[in-house]
Amino acid sequence: MPDFEKDIELKKLDLVAGEIRAGYYTMVGVYLSILIVLAALITPVVAFASSSNSISWLGLLGLAMIFVGILLYGETSKHKEHVARLDALIKEVENFRSIGTVQGAIRRVRGGQQVSL
């Protein structure tokens, strides 16, 4: 068995956790940006539209908010699964087993999804 370098394995874990965290925050930022853009586009229309027409636009904004909320919920659920898989990698390091390459570890945490580094 080759020498186990715990410091190197911990650094790999740090890189994997950073990649997972960055991906999550990026997607949350994208979804919230979409919501802000939709709100910014609809607000002037509502301000200058008739009352019956503005209710339709506000309904559209409400639907967009619900849609973005569903997307955010799905992203958060996926992130929780990733954290649970990251815990499994931490257990491996605690048991003095290598987690392999950083790309392989990211792939394992994401559940086999493609790694883009």
Whole-number Å distance between alpha carbons of 106 and 116: 10
- Domain locations in the chain as residue ranges: 6-109
pTM: 0.80
Interval 103-116 mean pLDDT = 80
Q: Is 85 exposed, middle or buried (0-12, 13-18, 19+ CB in 10 A)?
A: middle
Please tell me the distance from the alpha carbon of residue 61 to that of residue 41, in angstroms, as a whole number.
10
Contact 68/31 with Cβ under 8 angstroms?
A: yes
Indicate if the pLDDT at residue 68 is higher than 50.
Answer: yes
Q: Quick one: average pLDDT of 34-48? A: 85
pLDDT band at 57 (very low <50, low <70, confident <90, very high): confident
Query: Residue 16 in contact with residue 110, Cβ under 8 Å?
Result: no
Token couple for 33: 């940006």
- Rounded-to-integer distance, Cα 117 and Cα 112, Å: 15
Closest CA to 113 of 9, 20, 10, 17: 20
Mean of the pLDDT values across residues 61-82? 94
Residues 45, 48, 54, 56: what is their CA dihedral angle, to the nearest 10 degrees? -40
